[in-house]
Amino acid sequence: MLLVQVLLIGSFVFVAFISLRHRTDDRSQALRVGVVVSVGALIATAVLFPGLVTSVANWVGVGRGADLVLYIVAVVVMYLVVNTHLRMRDIERSITELVRQQAIDAAERENTMVERRSREIKLDITEKEPGVNPAPRAG
């Protein structure tokens, strides 16, 4: 085996290991294992038998195998960028929703506090009204 083949396959195994270590829910974990195994098989085949990739490239109308790989990588990167963008947008919207809810809740709380206080003040006044000026204590 060539050194480059060892390095490529080794780094794939490393990345696959890291991505599978963080277990989420069962369904998406199963899906991820499926994706990792099939992509891994593809990469291993391409790395171990470079001629195979070139013949596939020729078949679809691309000169060299490496070029075909480059094009595929470009598409994958574009997909990832769009995907990340959409996810970030969703996260931004969630943050906005949170901030809004917090602002409304805080104002609501303050509102009821002000109302309660003004009610208490009114109560105070009515209670004290009969004897606003209590007679000075004889000293």
Partner 1 sequence: MPTSQHQQMQDVAVVIPVFNEAEVLRAVLDDVCATFPLVIVVDDGSSDSSKDIARASEAVVLSHVLNRGQGAAIQTGLEWALRRSETSVVVTMDSDGQHACHDAVRLVDRIRLGDVDCVLGSRMLGSSGDGGATGMRRAMLRLAVRYTRFSTGLPVTDTHNGLRAFTRETASHMRLRHAEMAHASEILETLAVNRARIAEIPVSVSYSDYSRSKGQSSVNSVNIVVDLLMR
State in angstroms the smallest separation of the CB of 89 from partner 1. Answer: 9
Paired tokens of 8: 């490529």
CA pseudo-torsion sign 62, 67, 71, 13: positive
State in angstroms the smallest separation of the CB of 129 from partner 1. Answer: 24
What is the distance, to the nearest Å, from the Cα of residue 26 to the centroid of all Cα atoms in its chain?
18
Q: With binding defined as CB under 8 A, does residue 45 bind partner 1?
A: no
Q: Between the CA atoms of 42, 43, 45 and 48, what dihedral angle is there, to the nearest 10 degrees?
A: 180
Between 92 and 120, whose beta carbon lies closer to partner 1?
92
Between 60 and 107, whose beta carbon lies closer to partner 1?
107
Which residues 87-116 are close enough to bind partner 1 by CB under 8 A? 92-93, 95-96, 99-100, 102-104, 106-107, 111
What is the distance, to the nearest Å, from the Cα of residue 8 to the centroid of all Cα atoms in its chain?
29
Between 107 and 135, whose beta carbon lies closer to partner 1?
107
What is the distance, to the nearest Å, from the Cα of residue 80 to the centroid of all Cα atoms in its chain?
13
State in angstroms the smallest separation of the CB of 122 from partner 1. Answer: 17
CA pseudo-torsion sign 33, 34, 35, 38: positive
CA distance 92 to 116: 36
Between 33 and 114, whose beta carbon lies closer to partner 1?
114
Instruction: List contacts with partner 1 (CB under 8 A).
Output: 92-93, 95-96, 99-100, 102-104, 106-107, 111
